[in-house]
Structures are given as C-alpha cells and as structure tokens.
Amino acid sequence: MTESFQTPSATSIAAGVRDGSQSAADVIDAAIGAVEAREGELNAYNLVLADDARTAAAAIDQKIAAGETVGPLAGVPVAIKDNMCTTGVATTCSSKILEGWVPPYSATVVERLAAAGAVMVGKTNLDEFAMGSSTENSAFGPSKNPHDITKVPGGSSGGSAATVGAGAVPVSLGSDTGGSIRQPASLCGVVGVKPTYGMVSRYGLIAFASSLDQIGPFTTTVADAALVLEVIGGHDPRDSTSIPEPMPNLTEALGKGVDGLRIGIISELSGDPSLGSVEGIAPDVAARAAAAAAALEAAGASIEHVSIPSSVHGLPAYYLIAPAEASSNLARYDGVRYGLRSDGPNALAMNAASRTEGFGEEVKRRIMLGTYALTSGYYDAYYGQAQKVRTLMIDEFNAHYQNFDLLLSPTSPTTAFELDAKTADPMTMYVNDVCTIPSNLTGQPAMSVPFGVGDDGMPVGVQVLAPMMGEATMFRAAAVLEEAARV
C-alpha cells in the first residue's frame, strides 16, 4: 500500500491558489499523478481527464494572473461519479448500454463546481446505474478499497470514495439512493454526506430512484464537505423537487460544538440485541458507534438511546420503491435514440435485445422486481404500501426530532468485505444498506464521519442523522467527531 502522496484539503488548496502561493496547474498535476499512480490497482475511474483538467487549471491561473475573481474551490481537483452528465464527456453509469454516449449538457452540480473554480479530473466508477453496495456491479470491473485492494470500497459510489480515500483528490461527488455515499465513505475512511432531499439539484444526475436520489460530496475533512455542499446546494429551477429556500450556512456552524445538543442513538441500529437491534451489525462497528456517542457526550451533548421501530421497515420498503422507480427510469434505454443497439426484426424486439445485452444482472434483477411491484393487482400491496411505510417512518422520525437534535448510528453494518464475498446472494448484499436507507426514505440528511478502525484495521464510519434541512447542526456534530477521532 503506497501512501506517497496525500492531498491537502480543498479548503487549503483553494486558499493557496487564490492567494497565489501555489498554481492550479501544479495542484492538478500532482492530483493527476496521484490518480494515475493508483489507478492500475484501484480502478476508481471510468475516465481520467488529464488534458481537460490541465487546460482548466491553466485557465484558472490565467484568471488569477489577470486579477479576476475566482470561486471558493479555485484549483481544487474533483472527481465526478460517472452517473452525472458532463457536456462533451462520455457518461456511462458503468453500463454497457450507455457505452459511447456523450451528453450534450452538464448536470447542475457539475456547472456549479466549475463556476466555483473546481477542476474535474475524471469520471468515477460505480455499480451499474448506482445499483449495488460494492462497486462490483460495474461493466468496467470492480473498484478496490484503497486501504486494502482485496476488499471492496463499498458502493455504489465506490470509485468516488476510493479516490478520495486514497488521498489522490480532496473532493469527489457521489449519489446516494440508499446509502451509496455514506456506506462507501465509511468503508474508505472518508467523510460522505447525503443532504436533505431537494437541497442539491438532481438535474443531470442519471436517475436510479427519483424520489430517493440525492447528490453529495466525499471529502477528507468535515470542513471541506461543508464547503462543497455550499457550492453545489441551493435551489435549481430545472429540478421541480429542488427546495426553494436559501442554503443554510454550514462552514459557519463547524466550530460551534455540540454542547447542549440532545443526541439519540437508534436502538434498532445499535448492534445491541438487548435494545432490539437488527442482526448483522458487527460488534467492532457497534463499539465504534458507542465510542462516538461517548465523544459527543464528552463534548457536552446529552446522549440517550431511542427506539424507532419503523426504522426496521426501511429495508423492505426501499427494495420495493427504489426498483419500482428504477424500472420506469431505465425504460428509456431502448436502443432508439442513443446508447447500445442490438439487432431485432422490429422495434420492440430490437429494444428487448438491446436491454438484454446492455444491462448487467443486478440491474435486470431490480428492473424485474420493480416492474413486478407496479404490476396491476400488486401495486397497492407492494408499491402503495411501501409509500405508506415511508409516511410512517417520516412521522416517527419527526416525532423523535421533537426531543432530539440529532440521531446516531453506525453507517455500515461491517467494515469493507472481501471482493466476491457477497455477490452470490443479493439479499446479503442488500442488508448492507440497513442503517443508511431510513434517511433516503424520509428525505432527511445524514452523513458518515470516519471514526477509527475495526478489528481488521479497516476504517469505520459513524452516521449522524438530522431532521429536514438540519445540515448545520449535523455538521457541528461531525466536526466534533472528526476532532475526537484525531486524538
């Protein structure tokens, strides 16, 4: 494991580039060097944009030389999950069905990052169409965990987590539908944020499950996560589900500590059977979550266990809602307008042949599941019931947020597992999302903060959960945990 280069934080890079103490060109050169040095073993990228990145960096340096203003992320290398559209740059969702597709437009987040001076260095690998928890379901081969390349980086945003976890770049973007930012962040030892649904525009994010998908950052520090979220967040009129409210100030909240905050540990996700926890949460992971609670308590927060019975319904509800929406969202890959086309005697047969050839097994499985859940006669029992469970969960979580400022749980039930360990049985893979799914169903924000290592020496993350638009408070706790983990 080579640790020759460790990227500085985005905050310090941008400060250096803006005050002229370093050039964006040098920053980008170093980042590309680090990316390329690890790419052979990590397979974190579907595409490295070395030339484009160097051109963009030179443009920023020219602006600075000309005395023009540059944004808060000037010269900061960022990696973008390859399910976000980038004008003129191939976007694949790690699927054969989109091979060769070049979007004619960019996602809002990509535009906002560029406007802030960030430099895109590449498009990162993912589970095909973001369906998975290990990045093994990629048409371009699995990504590896930067801390142990025999292990998975988590998923679906595994490439984005791996490249930040490797220290190659300080910032990447992922998307989180059921934990696809937080779980790989936990497994790769980085900060990962799933914002409030509607805080970050989904325009240009290739949909998996529209009512659950949210874009968020991976960073090496909590402060960087706050900075990036402030850049990419905020109302976008091109997304009807975008929240038309001003962004909360997150960087300002960072130093405020947790003194006086009331924080609840979710019993059902605590790993403690005596508290009614679900099975499968590893003791070493549970121990780190308990240690995190203790650290918050030491910093002045009050800590209490809280039972949220509906949280255990998250997993089955999610595995109806997400596939149902996906089955419709992925219908457009029909071989008519873009992407892969296979031969067929008529349009319908061509469509089926293209999808059969172009989609991988997990995507097919979820399309099948979702199609079934929406079939006439089963809609009310499956999809309709799952959406009611969502309401139940929202009501329960909101009730607890009357008494608690934040909630706490492990992020992932285990540390990073071996490649191929869970590919045979989809259900064992699905269980990985048990702690992260509730926030997607409720729309509430949650983030994973690295908090030490497990028995195997691999990173463990703890999850901080907050009510709708409660990011500022969430970041206060995250900053405290980051500080405590350093000691």
Partner 1 sequence: MPDMSESESSAAPSGALSRDDVAHVAKLALLDLSDAEIDRFTGQLGAVLESAAKLAALDLGDLAPTHHPFGLTNVTRPDEIVPSLDRDIVLAQAPDIEDNRFKTPPALGEDS
Partner 2 sequence: MSEQTANTTPGAVAADLPEGWEIVIGLEVHVELNTATKLFCGCPNSFGDEPNTNVCPTCLGLPGSLPVLNDRAVESAMRLGRALNCDVNSSVFSRKNYFYPDQPKDYQVSQYDLPTNTEGHITLADGTRIGIERAHIEEDAGKLNHGGGDGRIHGADYSMADYNRAGVPLVEIVSHPELRSAADARAYVSELRSIVTAVDVSDAKMEEGSMRVDANVSVRPIGSDELRTRCEVKNINSLRSLERAINFEARRHVDLYDNGERPKQETRHWDEEAGRSRSGRSKEDAEDYRYFPEPDLVPLVVTDDDITRLDASLPTMPSARRAQLGEKSGASNDDINLLIERGQDGFALETIDAGADAKRVVVHLINNLSEGHGQLTAASFAAMIRMETGGDLSSTQAKEVLAEMVASGGDPAAIASAKGFEAMDGGELESILDGIIAENPDEWQRFCDGDDKEKKKMQGMFTGQIMKATKGQADGAAVAKLLAQKSAS
Q: Which does 391 bind (CB under 5 to 8 A by kind): partner 2, partner 1, none?
A: partner 1
Residues 127, 136, 230, 325: which binds partner 2 (CB under 8 A)?
Answer: 325
403 lies in the site for partner 1, by CB under 8 A: no
What DSSP line would sit under 107-169, residue for residue?
-HHHHHHHHTT-EEEEEE--SGGG--SSS-S-TT----BTTBTTB---SSSHHHHHHHHTTS-
180, 201, 310, 439: the active-site residue: 180
* 270 carries an active-site annotation: no
Sole window of 8-16, 66-74, 272-280, 363-371 interacting with partner 1 (rule: CB under 8 A): 363-371
Judge whether 7 and 78 are in contact, CB under 8 Å.
no
Judge whether 229 and 217 are in contact, CB under 8 Å.
yes
Contacts of residue 112, defined as CB under 8 A and 6 or more positions apart, other chains included, come to: 231, 232
Q: What is d(CA 81, CA 103) in angstroms, rounded to the nearest whole number?
A: 14
* 388 carries an active-site annotation: no
Q: Using CB under 8 A, count the residues that bind partner 1.
A: 76
Q: What is d(CA 319, CA 128) in angstroms, rounded to the nearest whole number?
A: 17
Q: Which does 421 bind (CB under 5 to 8 A by kind): partner 2, partner 1, none?
A: none
What DSSP line would sit under 222-262, residue for residue?
HHHHHHHHHHHBS--TT-TTS--SPPP--GGGGGG--TT-E
Sole window of 109-117, 185-193, 287-295, 332-340 interacting with partner 1 (rule: CB under 8 A): 332-340
Shortest Å distance, C-beta 239 to partner 2: 5
Q: Which does 206 bind (CB under 5 to 8 A by kind): partner 1, partner 2, none?
A: partner 2
390 lies in the site for partner 1, by CB under 8 A: yes
b/e code 434-460 from CB counts within 10 Å (16+ = b): bbbbbbbbbbbbbbbbbbbebebebbb
Q: Which does 332 bind (CB under 5 to 8 A by kind): partner 2, partner 1, none?
A: partner 2
DSSP 8-class letter at 89: B
Closer to partner 2 by CB, 307 or 328: give it.
328
User: Does residue 175 have a cis peptide bond before it, meaning omega lies within 30 degrees of 0?
Assistant: no
319 lies in the site for partner 1, by CB under 8 A: yes
47 lies in the site for partner 2, by CB under 8 A: no
* 186 carries an active-site annotation: no
391 lies in the site for partner 2, by CB under 8 A: no
104-123 binders of partner 1 (CB under 8 A) = 104
Q: Which does 107 bind (CB under 5 to 8 A by kind): partner 2, partner 1, none?
A: partner 2
219 lies in the site for partner 2, by CB under 8 A: no
**Closest of 216, 223, 224 to residue 183, by C-alpha:** 216
Q: Which does 464 bind (CB under 5 to 8 A by kind): partner 2, partner 1, none?
A: none
Q: What tokens does 33 get? A: 């060097």
Shortest Å distance, C-beta 256 to partner 2: 33
SS3 category, 339: coil
Cα torsion through 199, 232, 99, 33, rounded to 10: -140
Packing angle of the helix pair 10-19, 50-65 (nearest 10 deg): 50
Contacting positions for partner 2 (CB under 8 A): 83-85, 91, 93, 98, 101, 103-105, 107, 202-207, 209-211, 237-241, 324-325, 327-328, 331-332, 334, 336-338, 347-348, 351, 371, 374-376, 379, 383
> What residues are labeled active site?
81, 156, 180
